[in-house]
Amino acid sequence: MSAIRLTQTVQKGGCAAKVAAKELRKILEQVRFPAPHAALLVDGSHFDDAAIYEVTPEVALVQTIDFFTPMVDDPRTFGRVAACNALSDVYAMGGKPVTAMAVLAFPLVTFENDVVAAILQGASDMIGEAGANFVGGHSIDDDTLKFGLSVTGFVHPRRVWSNQGARAGDRLILTKPLGTGTLTAALKFSDVGEAGIADAIDSMTTLNNVCDYLSPELADGVHAATDITGFGLSGHSWQMARASGKSFRFESARLPAFAQARKFLEEEFLTKAHRTNREYTEGHLDDTALEPWQKLLIHDPQTSGGLLLSVAPERAEAVLAALRPRFSHAELVGEVSEGEARLRFV
């Protein structure tokens, strides 16, 4: 395999390459969508992680798609991260993935076949770990490498998690540390190698299959969920607060972060998304209690980040205990209250 560094072939990588949420909302406001079917339980109106379509009273489809440019250099690792990131959307809805199709664009002239095969193998490994089927996909010749998956899963229609169900009194649990945006920015600018951010790569290639670790009783205690990706903790949690009509309070000392996240944020290894995520949530959060690096951390664009769960207070500790063997950095990070959709960091 050629020694190509994937991060050097693109201007921006991972979920940091997402269209800014503020601009995306402006675009979508100009689009007239078809009238939804009665069976469509969750659509894109609240920026949820996936769509839910009821097939029978016992079965609903979970449908999502996610792709991006590389944020790591090793092709097989990139495939694993991209697949894990796409599969996460199904888990965020309380579902389990069953099929996945590849979305692939790459420059045929400059990329050797073994590089692309390694990306697909990495994705296949992750899909297999999820117990899903890799059933095909679509590829094009393009100037820039892009890869991801369209994933379909199943969920019981009455056990759907969405970003709309947070209740006053709920506790907020975050399953993974923050900081992949700044760490992969440092990687791109050669300030660190992949070995130096191994903890982040391990996290980005850990499936968010929290439902596999929760009993039915504990799973029923999860009232809302979302995965923290390109819009950062700030953007995704505000969307959840807005969709639920609630206020979120976060304890800054409890927010998990990767070991080198503070260092690289203070050294200003930043992405465009750090700015656009701040602009997106401006006027909707109070961060006056945070240190300067923490103000950047909450806007850090995560790739294959953790799930944010809004959990009934009487089950929160039990849910956390059930998740800790799989997600060692999972933490109770805040609580939900009545009031205007707003975030407060203390």
Task: Report the amino acid identity of residue 32.
Answer: R
- Is 84 considered catalytic here? no
Residue 13's Cα: distance from chain center in Å? 14
Dihedral sign of CA atoms 216, 220, 226, 228 in order: negative
Q: Which of 181, 189, 182 is nearest to 228 (CA)?
A: 181
Rounded distance between C-alpha atoms, residue 163 and residue 165, angstroms: 6
Rounded distance between C-alpha atoms, residue 106 and residue 203, angstroms: 26
Residue 98's Cα: distance from chain center in Å? 19
Strand partners, 147: 68, 104
Kindly state the DSSP code that residue 304 receives in the 8-state scheme: S
Query: Annotated catalytic residue: which of 15, 86, 92, 115?
Result: 15
Q: Which of 15, 3, 85, 48 is nearest to 230 (CA)?
A: 15
Task: Report the amino acid identity of residue 116.
Answer: V
Q: Alpha helix (H) ranges present in 150-271?
A: 180-188, 198-204, 216-220, 232-244, 261-266
Active site residues: 15
